[in-house]
Amino acid sequence: MQVISKISRQKNNPERYNIYLNESYAFAVDESTLIKFGLTKGKILEQFDIDEITYEDEIAKAFNRGLNFLSYQMRSEFEVKKKLLDAGFGEAVVLEAIRKLEKLGFLNDETYSKALLETKKKTAKKGPRAIKQDLMKKGIDKDTQSKVLESFTYEEQVNIAMELAEKTVRANSKKTPMQIKQKVQDLLMRKGYSFSVVNEILDQIRLEREDDDWQHLIELQGDKLWKKYAAKLTGNELRMKTKQALYQKGFPIEVIDRYLDEKEQEANG
């Protein structure tokens, strides 16, 4: 039999109390645990009482650690669980703390997933496939993933993807339409949009070029290619190699031939 001989508030943490049994320090408890078990001076404790109190206090400590972790930003259950396990709390204690956090509304994977979806849409302009990967990394279960992603409508995906496409078009004004479309396609696929969304965007963007635009573009890209191949090739081989490279970049044959005629005239002139 052991008797509580003294209870003192900790100086560095006023919400925790040191418990003394038979004049010797025994353990510390959170204020909530102190109240729950009615710990007062003179109370008699059996060993099973002490075990229950210390277990409950571990849960309280894990709860507070989890609550502090959540105070900085929203987290998933998976993240909180990992944080508490890494901090040294036992599996059973962590699960009890998580249940308490969920019950009090501090932890909710569906709410968290909805917030993550909105953040990824607005800040990173991500599509459903990429956001699904983010949710998986956060330990969100498949049913919650599906439920949350259903709110990301096809129309909204197209609108966000078009913003990305238009920005890409503006940033690549010195490229051919084929090159620009390839960049748009690559970007949207990396961002996690479906083939149907990507194809719709590619069908909608207009990239016509005037003759003067083609001339300017081919001079920018063609001169670099001509100089590169001219270091090793001459005559018809030089012309064909340059022509092939320009065609692969999306330049029309007539524009390429006109450019190469001019380059050969310069070389022979």
> Which tens digits make up the pLDDT trace of 47-78?
999 999 999 999 999 999 999 999 999 999 99
Query: What average pLDDT does the structure give for the chain?
Result: 92
pLDDT band at 269 (very low <50, low <70, confident <90, very high): low
Q: So what's the pLDDT on residue 174?
A: 85
pLDDT band at 252 (very low <50, low <70, confident <90, very high): confident
Q: So what's the pLDDT on residue 164?
A: 96
Long-range pairs of 26-33 with CB within 8 A, sequence gap ≥ 24: 26/2, 26/50, 27/53, 27/54, 27/57, 28/57, 29/53, 29/54, 29/57, 29/60, 30/57, 30/60, 30/61, 30/64, 32/60, 33/57, 33/60
99 contacts 80 by C-beta, under 8 angstroms: no
Measure the CA–CA gap between 169 and 249, rounded to whole angstroms: 16
Q: So what's the pLDDT on residue 86?
A: 97
94 contacts 85 by C-beta, under 8 angstroms: yes
pLDDT in tens, 12-54: 888 899 999 999 999 999 998 999 999 999 999 999 999 999 9
